[in-house]
Amino acid sequence: MFYSMFDTAYGTCGVVYRSVEEAGVVHIFLPGSKKEIKSRISILFPESKETTSPKIAEIITDITHYLNGTPTTFTTDLLDTSAFYPFQLKVMKTDWKIPRGKTATYGWIAEQIGTKGVRAVGNANARNPFPIVFPCHRVIRSDRTLGGFGGGLEMKRRLLEMEGVQFDSQDRVHSDHIIR
């Protein structure tokens, strides 16, 4: 296992991958301090070694551009999704379809994949190892509040605002920004 850390407008991010030659990205860490990201990587992937790889340069560039506010279309080709269970993969593929500047509720995601398990959708998003690429930050509660996010609610709101999502006076996502 290998990892690379890189600076963005929001802080340092990390990418963990299987091979320098073939990539196989297994985890993307949301922005934080260098110390925090390095610590989180060493806890979850203690055998990983820091290096650079031209194979993952594209995903690093895409994440950096996205966090700088540039509309970005991510590729999933380098992601190793083999650890996803089938339900989680359905959730991630549905999250992927939520466009920049829009949000969808956990209930809407559940409806799209044919389940009544709204909490299961939330749990699948909570276990998303590829935040930003699979945009779980665009999934909100039915009352239009943010719900949860691995990077914290402040980060979730910052990402949504950067994408053009607006909030009402009660800190709820404005209804114009919700897919129905």
DSSP 57-78: HHHHHHHHHHHTT-------TT
Write the pLDDT tens digit of every residue in 91-129. 999 999 999 999 999 999 999 999 999 999 999 999 999
Do residues 61 and 14 both lie within one domain? yes
Q: Are 30 and 155 in contact (CB under 8 A)?
A: yes
Decide if 78 is inside a domain. Answer: no
- For residue 174, give both structure tokens: 């404005």
pLDDT of residue 138: 98
pLDDT of residue 180: 85
Decide if 81 is inside a domain. Answer: no
Tokens 């996010």 label which residue? 149
Do residues 114 and 141 both lie within one domain? yes
Instruction: Tell me how many helices (H) and strands (E) the chain has.
Output: 6, 6
Q: Please state whether the predicted TM-score (pTM) of the whole model is above 0.75.
A: yes
pLDDT of residue 20: 74
Do residues 91 and 156 both lie within one domain? yes
Range of the domain at 20: 2-67
pLDDT of residue 55: 86
State the catalytic residues: 136
Do residues 156 and 105 both lie within one domain? yes
What is the domain count for the chain? 2
Do residues 49 and 19 both lie within one domain? yes
Q: CATH code at 169?
A: 1.10.10.10
pLDDT of residue 115: 94
pLDDT of residue 19: 86
Do residues 171 and 93 both lie within one domain? yes
pLDDT of residue 13: 97
User: Do strands 11-19 and 49-50 pair parallel, antiparallel, or not at all (unpaired)?
Assistant: unpaired
Q: How far is CA 61 from CA 49, 54, 65, in A?
A: 21, 11, 6
Decide if 63 is inside a domain. Answer: yes
pLDDT of residue 22: 76
- For residue 145, give both structure tokens: 């509040």
User: Do strands 2-8 and 23-32 pair parallel, antiparallel, or not at all (unpaired)?
Assistant: unpaired
Alpha-carbon distance of 119 to 28, in angstroms, equals 23
Decide if 106 is inside a domain. Answer: yes
Spatial CA neighbour of 128 closest among 110, 108, 149: 149
Q: Which residues of the chain have pLDDT under 50?
A: none
Do residues 119 and 156 both lie within one domain? yes
Decide if 79 is inside a domain. Answer: no
Decide if 100 is inside a domain. Answer: yes
The residue among 13, 37, 67 that closes a domain is 67
- For residue 92, give both structure tokens: 């991630």
Q: Cβ of 15: how many Cβ atoms within 10 Å?
A: 23
Q: Are 15 and 60 in contact (CB under 8 A)?
A: yes
Decide if 61 is inside a domain. Answer: yes
Q: CATH code at 33?
A: 3.30.160
Decide if 165 is inside a domain. Answer: yes
